[in-house]
Amino acid sequence: MNQLLNVVMAQLNPLVGDIQANTQLVMDKSLEASRDLNADVIVFSELMLTAYPPEDLLLRPSMELRVAKALATLQWFSRETPEVHNLHIVVGYPAVRGDKLYNMAGVIHQGELICEYAKQCLPNYQVFDEKRYFAEGREACIFKINGLPVGITICEDIWAPEPTQQAADLGAKLMLNLNASPFHMGKAQSRQQLLAERAQQSNIAVIYTNQFGGQDELIFDGGSMAVDSDGTVCRSAPLFEEGLYLVEVEINGSPESGDLSCSIKLGEIAPTLSEQASAYQALVLGVRDYVNKNGFPGIALGLSGGIDSGLTVAIAVDALGKDRVHAVMMPFKYTSQMSLDDAAEQAKILGIKYSVIPIEAIYNTYMAALEDEFSGTERDTTEENLQARCRGVIMMAISNKKRLMVLTTGNKSEMAVGYATLYGDMVGGYGVLKDTYKTLVFELSRYRNTLSPAIPTRVIERPPSAELAPDQKDTDSLPDYDELDQILEFYIEHDYSADAIVAQGFDKDTVYRIVRLVDLNEYKRRQAPMGARITPRGFGRDRRYPTTSGWAVSDKTQ
């Protein structure tokens, strides 16, 4: 008679560095899985005890002691808690073995650490730098549950064929893969395709548990899943939701025969999300976790009546609730009545606290103080930037007084070409749209309004303007955003040279100007707040260029 093995994917939101709380979360969820889901196995995410990525916390001398204490606590819990006595707890953690630090996963059962696996494939690209910290593992880890040989791999191991095949060659019929795989648009589909390919190649069923939650600029979207050996996705957890998700594994054969196999029973398949829905949920999650995990009571932001701040405030309300959002309109003489009306209307729609603080008197005071310094000079962007800096001072004063974190509203297109003011609209703690191109800002604004009224239609349809000069439009100094974003994507996401972008059909002078602006404004991006990463190549962790550089837009050797 076939046996049923209940495996629970624990898609949870741990806090980086809080080993004690994360350990308690493992115990609480293990008890819940055993009691409510009759679990035989619970699989947590990569480095669950520290959460991912712990970065240079791994270099702290006390890290080894804290993790060892956490493992001892879990072993005690497994031994002394009758409800979990038969549960296999599969958990990730960093561990020193010999004189090397490994990215490890261990199996705790009946009070014993019955086996450990060290991650073999250490990613060192994009947002990952694991070779800075960890040594590579070499060996497979196989243990048996009810006679079924089960293997363990960790995250990047599943992206290479060798670790899975190594375990399959040693007899593993089921692979448990612990993950901390960050989100970017399109990532969920590529994961599913990869798991199907890996399962088919090695003829092994795979259960994939992924971390959930926001961690600084990284967003972990969950999306845990179970794939049968023929590549069929038999069970999947929702994206952007925390929870315990049961996978039923049917063990075929008998332990006495020594020839067991398994198959995953068809279970609930979570709905897929559109690109706009997944990007929007990622931005909401990023704001919620950054604000909450850092202990802020709420946020403040400048609401200009434009689309960037309009989308940002909608995201903030969805992340935190209307009572924790304070929007401030800071008009100047160039601010149109349309902007004043639209900002007030949106604040009313969303039900948030809304203040109007004119900046003209403040600006005039600055200009009077600078009169001698500016004597004999012509008006230029200095005066425009001073307007933005007046607003930045106001927002940071509100932040200091009320302990509200300031959200910046600049998008990726603007940050790429430096269309932002240092110590002005760039001041704040978190850049919500920092990795969101302007064309996507429009898409997400329209998408958000399909859920409920949030952003006035006129805000979305009017030509974008910083309103720092009379009748100013973004297109006065930049190409249309449709064209600009295509050039930026080629240059930033795909590393095309300027000439290679021109070969795609774009105007040479325009391309050279945009590429030069991207290169010149690295110094601004270095001083910008972090923001949610939703593309495959975000500024900061992903794209690291020198500020001081003699690199030219075009070179004969290119």
- Which positions are annotated as active-site residues? 46, 119, 155
Q: In whole angstroms, what is the distance from residue 314 CA to residue 66 CA?
A: 40
DSSP per position, 166-180: HHHHTT-SEEEEEE-
Q: Which two tokens stand for residue 462?
A: 């009017």
Candidates 499, 471, 371, 483; CA nearest to 417 is 483
Candidates 217, 131, 97; CA nearest to 542 is 217
Question: Do residues 92 and 44 touch, judged by C-beta distance below 8 A?
Answer: yes
Q: In whole angstroms, what is the distance from residue 474 CA to residue 269 CA?
A: 44
Q: In whole angstroms, what is the distance from residue 468 CA to residue 385 CA?
A: 8
Q: In whole angstroms, what is the distance from residue 180 CA to residue 221 CA?
A: 9
Question: Do residues 537 and 496 touch, judged by C-beta distance below 8 A?
Answer: no
User: Which single residue is written with the structure tokens 């009017």?
Assistant: 462
DSSP per position, 400-418: HHH-PEEEE---HHHHHHT
Instruction: Give 543's DSSP letter.
Output: B
Long-range contacts of 554-557 (CB under 8 A, 24+ apart): 554/497, 554/498, 554/499, 554/512
Q: In whole angstroms, what is the distance from residue 78 CA to residue 110 CA?
A: 5
Tell me the H-state helices in 403-543.
412-417, 438-451, 457-461, 481-488, 498-502, 508-520, 522-526
**Rounded to the nearest 5°, which phi and psi values hold at 179?**
-130, 150
Name the burial class of residue 37, with classes exposed (0-12), middle (13-18) and buried (19+) by CB atoms within 10 angstroms of its CB.
Answer: middle
Q: In whole angstroms, what is the distance from residue 409 CA to residue 415 CA?
A: 10
Q: Cα angle vertex 222, ends 431, 208, to 5°?
A: 145
